[in-house]
Amino acid sequence: MNRLTGLLCLTFAVLIFAAAGPAWSMHEQGKFHKKKNSKIEIVYPPGAPGIAAHFKSRLGINGKSRDAGSLHQGIDIKGPNGQAILAAADGMVLEAVVDECWGPTISIDHGNGPDGGKIIALYGHVGEMLVEAGHEVKRGQLIAKLGDNQNRYKCMAGVRHLHFQLGREYQTDKSDRWGNEYFLEDGRRGLNPHLYWVDGVRKVTCFSPAKIYPADYLAYPLPCDRQ
Ligand SMILES: [Zn+2]
């Protein structure tokens, strides 16, 4: 092999490597994107506790499959015993009751959302409840704390967390109902909370007393003070 042939071989080798390289990395990028896409679109501000079970997830907070056909109708956020739970917007407490499966749960009428439809929020699986039916609440107000009751109520699946769910229609027929259907007529058709954050779609917005909020959007129901 003379010097020219050697050079040509080397050039071919480089070309083949270069052609193969991008194909491989595009494939990897594609995988990364797909994985990223299932979660990313949610932007968390610094210190915001992450969502452990997402809206419409097929998995429960304990990582196991949910009952057949039941998609998650809210978002789940874990916290320690005593974790503060905040009102996501101004509103009126509809109920603060202990559901046999959900445990202590607060429902709040937050008035109309930016789309003109009513927003009723469920703050489910809490411990101590600090508000009662009929109370007016302000955005960011401490309404409850998470408790040490995750093994007492079946719907908590042994994991201490807040279940935050939105709906439009208050359930007035309480007979023989439990869980989201006790509180909401559309309990099995939850609204996507990521459409309603103050900072924009999928942009979790933490409450800060210094910030001015438009009335019809929501703030995150936990304070953003996690390290
Ligand atoms: Zn949940």
- We report the CATH number of the domain holding residue 60 as 2.70.70.10
Ligand 1 centroid from CA 212, angstroms: 29
My answer on whether 165 and 221 are in the same domain is: yes
State the distance from the centre of ligand 1 to the C-alpha of 5, rounded, in angstroms: 67
pLDDT-based confidence at residue 6 (cuts at 50, 70, 90): low
In a shared domain, residues 47 and 65: yes
> Do residues 10 and 50 share a domain?
no
Domain co-membership, 31 together with 65: no
Ligand 1 centroid to residue 87 C-alpha, Å: 17
Q: How far is CA 51 from the centre of its chain?
A: 5
For residue 4, is pLDDT > 60? no
**Residue 146 pLDDT greater than 70, yes or no:** yes
What is the Å distance from ligand 1's center to 47 Cα?
21
Give the pLDDT of residue 41.
84
Do residue 48 and residue 16 come from a single domain?
Answer: no
Q: What is the pLDDT of residues 108-144, one digit of tens each?
A: 999 999 999 999 999 999 999 999 999 999 999 999 9
Q: How many domains does the chain have?
A: 2
Diameter of the chain by CA atoms? Answer: 92
- Ion ligand 1: residues, CB < 5 A: 74, 76, 163
CA–centroid distance, 10 to ligand 1, in Å, is 59
Ligand 1 centroid distance, CA of 105 (Å): 12
Same domain, 127 and 217: yes
For residue 80, the tally of other CB atoms under 10 A from its CB is 10
> Are 52 and 23 in the same domain?
no
Looking at the fold, whether 139 and 27 belong to one and the same domain comes out as no
Percentage of the residues of the chain whose pLDDT score is greater than 90: 76
3-class secondary structure for 50-88? Answer: CCCECCCCCECCCCCECCCCCCCCEEEEECCCCCEEECC
Instruction: Pick left, alpha or beta for residue 17 (phi over 0 → left; psi -120 to 50 → alpha; otherwise beta).
Output: alpha
Residues 90 and 194: beta-carbon distance below 8 Å? no
For residue 23, give both structure tokens. 């194909």
Average pLDDT over every residue of 184-203: 96
Regarding whether 4 and 63 lie in a shared domain, the answer is: no
Q: Report whether 180 contacts 190 (CB < 8 A).
A: yes
Same domain, 23 and 116: no
Q: Confidence class of residue 226 from pLDDT cuts 50, 70 and 90?
A: confident
Mean pLDDT of the chain, nearest integer: 86
Q: How far is the CA of 31 from the centre of ligand 1 (A)?
A: 28
The whole domain housing 14 covers 1-37
- Both 58 and 98 in one domain: the answer is yes
Residues 50 and 153 in one domain: yes
pLDDT tens-digit map of 8-48:
444 444 444 444 433 333 333 333 333 344 555 899 999 99
Which carries the bigger pLDDT value, residue 79 or residue 27?
79
Residue 115 carries which DSSP code? Answer: T
- What separation in Å is there between the alpha carbon of 72 and the centre of ligand 1? 6
- pTM recorded for the entire structure: 0.82
Cα of 137 from ligand 1 centre, angstroms: 23
Q: How far is the CA of 60 from the centre of ligand 1 (A)?
A: 7
Structure tokens at 152: 């007492």
- Indicate if the alpha-carbon torsion angle 151, 152, 157, 163 is positive or negative: negative
